[in-house]
Amino acid sequence: MLFRTSVIASAALALVATMVEAHSWADCVDWRFNDPAKPGWRASDGKCFGWARQYPVNSGIQFGGLDSADPSRHYQQNPKDFVPCSDKNHGIEPGADETRQNPISKAYGGRFGAMAATTAGKEICIRWPAKNHAKKDEPNNPVMINMPQTILTKDPSQSGFTAANIAKLDYKNCNQISGDTDHTPCGGCFKVPAALASGTYVIQWRWMLNNNEYYTSCWDLQVKAAASGATPTAAGGATPTDVPSLSNSTTIFADLAEDN
């Protein structure tokens, strides 16, 4: 009887562990540090100014908890079609609706987060939850930032996004990489191409967990053309510098509430 109880308990724990290890998505697509000299991804380290398409804000759900929402924010592509942005129907794990809206602004404001905006050539930062995949024994596949550098009338195919890669970010650039990292915030920064004309561009966050197992988030970015001879600035207003990696940090924190 004791053996049977032990087996059942072990199976239950294994199930819980599997459920906890969900998969990631772009939580904030315009994260600005309070102090650019001390970058971090916790709620106390900065503030979000832009979100993915139809991203719920003021939901009251803990940071990193939208994988349990209905619909979920984590979308796993199906290798049979690789639909680039979740449409709530396709995918091995269908996610929330991140398709292009008409007008584009329909996906932002009200109960949804604001659209991200920046100037060409400026650095912009993105945040995502680790979901227990930033531990030392986990593979560190990069986050791919794909951004066609033309103003489009519809979203490109996945091959179109892939061909437009502009940055590869360290998935494990997190505030904590040991212990329970399910709700640990991670992030990275990239520079928006400097030669862009003013307009609205589409960007895709794409991350491979295992071989051919991809997760994506899509959003629109309002870009203002850079003034001739202007010096681009980094996120938070500083002169562009490499953002220090947080990959070796073991800081443990409590302020994991989702930013509103």
Amino acid letter, 152: L
Residue 107: phi, psi to the nearest 5?
-85, 0
Q: What is the dihedral of CA 208, 209, 211, 215, to 10 degrees?
A: -50
Q: What is the pLDDT of residue 247?
A: 40
User: Domains of the chain (ranges plus CATH)?
Assistant: 23-224 (2.60.40.10)
Q: What is the pLDDT of residue 181?
A: 85
Q: What is the pLDDT of residue 78?
A: 97
Q: What is the pLDDT of residue 218?
A: 98
CA–CA dist 133, 20 (Å, integer): 10
Q: What is the pLDDT of residue 199?
A: 98
pTM passes above 0.85: no
pLDDT-flagged residues of the chain (< 50) = 1-20, 231-234, 236-244, 246-260
Residue 36 falls in which region: left (phi positive, over 0), alpha (psi -120 to 50) or beta: alpha
Q: What is the pLDDT of residue 25?
A: 96
Find out whether the peptide bond into 71 is cis, omega within 30 degrees of 0. Answer: yes
Residue 57: phi, psi to the nearest 5?
-115, 165
Q: What is the dihedral of CA 256, 122, 191, 155, to 10 degrees?
A: 90
